[in-house]
Structure 1
C-alpha cells in the first residue's frame, strides 16, 4: 500500500474514531438520562420493544446494509460517467422513498399484532398499548435513515467523512433534548419524538452541505427496470433474505428478553447492557470498518487482497489485545460500572444487579462482535455479500436452541451468553471460509496470534479476583474499585503485550510526535 493511501486510511479511521468517541459519550448521557427516568420496569421494556418493528422495516428495505453495497457500485459508475452515477442515485432515492412510505403505513396498521407477538406474556394491558403508540411514533424515522444512508454513501464514496461523522452526534442530542423537555408532559414518548427529530436533523439536514460539496445532481427518474438499480438490488438482496448480524442480535435480545425467567425489566436490562457493551465494539470495530471500507473497496477493485490483509490483520490482533484484556477483567467490575453509570432515580439497586449480570454474560463476545464487523467488510469489498449472510444464518440456527433453553433457566444471562457464542461462531466460520476462498491467505497466522492473545490475557482474571478480595478495596466507592480492580490488571497486561511485541508503545509515541 502506498504512503498516500495509508495516510488517507489513517485520517479516515481517526476521524470516524473521534466521531464514535463523541457520539458514544453523548450516547452514554442519553442512556443515563433514560435509565434515570424509566429504570427497568414495564415502561422501560415497552420503550425497548418499540424499536423492534421500525428496525425490522429498516433492515428489510436495506437501509441498514445500503452503504456497503452502494459504495462499490457508485464508485465504479462515477469513474465511468458522473451523470450515470447521479441518475442511479436519483432513481434509488425516488423508488426507495415510495417503498418506505408504503411500508410505514403498513407497519402502522400491523403494529398491535406485532407487539402482541414479540412481547409475549410480559407486555399486557397499558404496557402493550404504550409499546404500540411508541412504535408508531418511531416508524417514520426509518425514511430519514434511508435518505441518510444514500447521502452518506455518496460522501463515503468520495472519501469524505466529516458530515457523516456528525450523524450519530446530532441523533443522540435530538433524543436527549426532546426526551428531557417533553418527559413531564408526555412521559417516555418524549424520547420517541426525539428519535424522529434526531433522525431528520442528523441524516438529512446536517448532510446537505456534504451533498453540495460532492456536487450531486438530482434527476426526476423512477424506474424499477434501471439496470444499475437492479444490479444494486441483486447485491443487496442476499443481505436482506438472510439474517444480518446486528439485526439478529437486536431481535434475539428483545424477543427472548421478553420471555426471560427474570421477568419484568429483562428487556430493558439487556438493552442497557448491550448499549454499554457496544460502545467498545463501535469504537474499535465500526469506526475502523467505516473509515477503512472505501479504501478497501478500491484495493479490492484492483485485486490487491494481500495489501488489504497486511493492513487489516495486524489491526485485528491489536484490537484483540485490548478487548481480551478487558473481557477477562470485566466480570469483576461490571456491578460497580453499572452502579456508577446508571444507578439513580428510577434505576434501582435491583436494576444494577440484573443489568450487570447481562453485561458479564456479554463479555466473552466482546472481541468477536468487533472482529465480525471488520471481516464482513472484507467480503463486501469483494462483492461476496451472500457469504456473510449464509454464515450468520447457519450460526443462528445452531445457537437458537440455547436461547430457548437458557433464557428460561438463566434469565438475562441465558440471553446474553448465547449472543456471545453466536458472534464467536460467526467469526470462526467467516475467517475459515476466507482461507478456503484464498488458500494463500495469511489468516492462519491471524488465528495463531489470537490464540496467543487469549491465553496471555487470561491471567487478568486472576489478578482482578485477587485485588478485589482485599477488604480495603471491597469497601471503596465504585469508581475506586473500577480503577483498582480493573485498571491495574489492564495496564499490566498491556505492558506484557508491549514487551512481547503484540503491540508497540514506541511506535504509537513516534506517530504522536510526528503528528505534532
Structure 2
C-alpha cells in the first residue's frame, strides 16, 4: 500500500497541477469564445484528434503496449531497448501519415461528429479549426509512446507533468485571442483568429511531446530509428490489439452519437449543445484523472508482472488496494459534484462571452455526471485486470454492451426530454450504463482471478459513503443558504459555497473517516501529516 501510495502521490501531484491549469485553460476559453456557436465549433474540432488517438493508439497503449514492453524488458537480452526503439519508430511514421490523412478528411470528420448543415457557418469554422488542430495527432501520439516507456521504468513524474506545459501554452493563446480577437460571435471571427486558436492549440501538444522526449533521454533511453519490422512483434501486437481497437471503435461510435445528439440540441437552444457537454465532462474527469489514472498507471505494470509470474494472490491484493484507495476519495467527491455542480462552474465559466446562466447549465450537467464518478472509476480499474493477463478480447464485449446500453438510453432520453435538458439526459445515460458495465466487468474479472474480495470492497465502500454523509449535508446546507437567502449563485456566493461545502466538507470527511478508522484515508492523512511536519 505504501509503495502504491507514494507512486500515486507523485503522479497525483503532477496531474493535479495539470488539471488546475486545465481549469484555467477552459475558463479562459469560455471567457474568450463562449459556449454558443463558436465554442461548439472549437470543441467539436478539438475532440476529433483525441477520438482518433483513442482509436489508433491510446487504448492499445494501456492494454497491449505496456504489458508487451514489460515482457520485452524481462525476456530480451538487451532489456527491451531495441524493441522500444522499434515501437517509437513505427508509431512516429504511422502517426505522421494519419495526421496528414486526417487534415485532408477534415470536412468528412466534422460531418460525422456533428449534426450541422455542411453549408452553415458553424460547420465551415469547425472544419477550418480542425485542419489547424489535427496535425497535433503526430506529436501527441509520439509523446504517449514515450510516456508509456517511462511508466514501465517506474518514471511517473514527466508523463503527469508534461500536460502542464500544454495547458500553459494554450492559456497564453486564449488570453491573446481575448485581447486581439473578435470574441465569441461566429459571424465576425476571421481566418486569422481561427489560425491563432487552432495553431495555438497544436503548439501546446508540441510542447508536451518535447517534455516527454527529453525526460525519456534523461532516463537513459537513446533513440535510434529502427525499421527492422520482423523483430517488432507486430503480429503479436496485432492479435492482442485488434480486440482493443474493437473496443475503442465501439466506444467512439458511442461518442459520435453523443456529439451528434448534443449538437442537435445546441441547434435548438443556444448554449445547450456540445460545449456544455464537453466542459462538464472535463470537470467530471478531473477526480478520475488526478486519483484514478495515477493509481492505474502505477498498478498495471505491477499487475502484469504478477500475472507473468503466476502470482494471482498478488493480483487480487493489488486490485483490492487500488479500488479502496481510489474510492476513499472518489466517494466524497462524487457526492460533492452532485450537490455543488453550479457552484463549481459559475466561478470558472461565468465570464466574458459566457453568461452566468450558461455556466449554471454546465453545472447542472456536472451534477448528473457526479452519479457516474465511482462506477466509471471502478469500471476502468476492472478493465486493467483483463489487460494484465493480455486479454483484450473480454473488455471489447464489456465495452460493447456498456456502449449499446448507453446509446439506447441516450436516444430514449433525447426523445423524451425537452432540448434544454437533452445534454443532462446524455449524462444520466452515461451514469446508468457505466454502473451496469461495472457490475458485468466485476463478475467476469472475479472469475478470472478466482475472486476479487467483493465483500471486503463492498464493506469498505459502505463505510466511505457513511463517512461522506455529513459532508453532503454540509454542502446542501451551504447551497440552500446562498440560493434562498442571498439571492442565487453569482461569482462571490459560489466561491463561498465552495469554501464551505467543498473545502470544509472534505476536511469533515477526512476527520470522520479517520475516526471511523478507514485504512486508506488514514494512510492519506498520515502521509500529509508527515509532509507538513517536515
Determine if the TM-score, normalized by the shorter chain, exceeds 0.5.
Answer: yes
Query: Which residue pairs with 1:104 in the alignment?
Result: 99
Does the 8 A contact of 1:244 with 1:392 survive in 2? no
Distance 2:250 2:513 in 1: 30
Does the 8 A contact of 1:52 with 1:251 survive in 2? no
Using the TM superposition, name which of 309-318 and 382-391 deviates more: 309-318
Query: Which residue pairs with 1:426 in the alignment?
Result: 437
Does the 8 A contact of 2:116 with 2:122 survive in 1? no
Does the 8 A contact of 1:179 with 1:188 survive in 2? no
Structure 2 residue corresponding to 1:307, chosen from 302, 314, 320: 314
Secondary structure of 1:159 counterpart: coil
Does the 8 A contact of 1:289 with 1:374 survive in 2? yes
Using the TM superposition, name which of 64-73 and 490-499 deviates more: 490-499
Structure 2 residue corresponding to 1:484, chosen from 491, 500, 524: 500
Query: Which residue pairs with 1:334 in the alignment?
Result: 341
Query: Which residue pairs with 2:200 in the alignment?
Result: 194
Offset of residue 416 of structure 1: 1.1
Using the TM superposition, name which of 194-203 and 462-471 deviates more: 462-471
Structure 2 residue corresponding to 1:23, chosen from 18, 23, 26: 18
Structure 2 residue corresponding to 1:369, chosen from 373, 376, 383: 376
Distance 1:162 1:484 in 2: 32
Distance 1:67 1:412 in 2: 30
Distance 1:97 1:315 in 2: 33
Offset of residue 455 of structure 1: 6.0
Does the 8 A contact of 2:88 with 2:142 survive in 1? yes
Query: Which residue pairs with 1:412 in the alignment?
Result: 423
Relative to structure 1, is the Cα distance of residues 391 and 48 closer, same or farther in structure 2, using a 3 angstrom cutoff? same
Distance 2:250 2:529 in 1: 39
Query: Which residue pairs with 2:217 in the alignment?
Result: 211
Secondary structure of 2:80 counterpart: helix
Query: Which residue pairs with 2:113 in the alignment?
Result: 118
Number of residue pairs matched by the alignment: 510
Using the TM superposition, name which of 194-203 and 493-502 deviates more: 493-502
Does the 8 A contact of 2:510 with 2:525 survive in 1? no
Does the 8 A contact of 2:251 with 2:403 survive in 1? no
Query: Which residue pairs with 1:127 in the alignment?
Result: 122
Cα deviation code 1:395-419 (max 9, x no counterpart): 1112211111213413111111111
Does the 8 A contact of 2:25 with 2:170 survive in 1? yes
Query: Which residue pairs with 1:260 in the alignment?
Result: 265
Distance 1:97 1:253 in 2: 30
Query: Which residue pairs with 1:3 in the alignment?
Result: none
Relative to structure 1, is the Cα distance of residues 474 and 381 closer, same or farther in structure 2, using a 3 angstrom cutoff? farther
Relative to structure 1, is the Cα distance of residues 153 and 117 closer, same or farther in structure 2, using a 3 angstrom cutoff? closer
Secondary structure of 1:260 counterpart: helix
Offset of residue 8 of structure 1: 4.7
Offset of residue 82 of structure 1: 4.9
Distance 1:220 1:424 in 2: 44
Distance 2:275 2:118 in 1: 13
Distance 2:504 2:528 in 1: 24
Distance 2:66 2:143 in 1: 14
Distance 2:299 2:457 in 1: 19
Could you say what the CA RMSD is over the residues aligned between the two structures, in angstroms?
2.9
Using the TM superposition, name which of 92-101 and 143-152 deviates more: 92-101
Using the TM superposition, name which of 38-47 and 403-412 deviates more: 403-412
Cα deviation code 1:7-43 (max 9, x no counterpart): 6533321211111011011111111100100111100
Q: Which runs of 5+ in 2 are unaligned?
A: 182-191, 487-491
Cα deviation code 1:372-415 (max 9, x no counterpart): 23222222122122222220111111221111121341311111
Relative to structure 1, is the Cα distance of residues 263 and 75 closer, same or farther in structure 2, using a 3 angstrom cutoff? same
Distance 2:207 2:78 in 1: 28
Matched, 1:240 2:235: no
Matched, 1:288 2:328: no
Query: Which residue pairs with 2:236 in the alignment?
Result: 231
Relative to structure 1, is the Cα distance of residues 470 and 227 closer, same or farther in structure 2, using a 3 angstrom cutoff? closer
Cα deviation code 1:132-175 (max 9, x no counterpart): 01111111111112211222222211112233233211121222
Give the TM-score normalised by the residue count of structure 2: 0.86
Offset of residue 503 of structure 1: 4.3
Matched, 1:446 2:448: no
Relative to structure 1, is the Cα distance of residues 492 and 60 closer, same or farther in structure 2, using a 3 angstrom cutoff? closer
Matched, 1:221 2:237: no
Secondary structure of 2:50 counterpart: helix
Structure 1 residue corresponding to 2:141, chosen from 98, 121, 146: 146
Give the TM-score normalised by the residue count of structure 1: 0.89
Distance 1:80 1:321 in 2: 37
Distance 1:471 1:509 in 2: 31
Relative to structure 1, is the Cα distance of residues 278 and 188 closer, same or farther in structure 2, using a 3 angstrom cutoff? farther
Does the 8 A contact of 2:32 with 2:353 survive in 1? yes
Does the 8 A contact of 1:49 with 1:131 survive in 2? yes
Relative to structure 1, is the Cα distance of residues 423 and 194 closer, same or farther in structure 2, using a 3 angstrom cutoff? farther
Distance 1:251 1:433 in 2: 28
Matched, 1:501 2:526: no
Query: Which residue pairs with 2:187 in the alignment?
Result: none
Offset of residue 334 of structure 1: 1.7
Q: Which runs of 5+ in 1 are unaligned?
A: 1-5
Structure 2 residue corresponding to 1:319, chosen from 312, 317, 326: 326
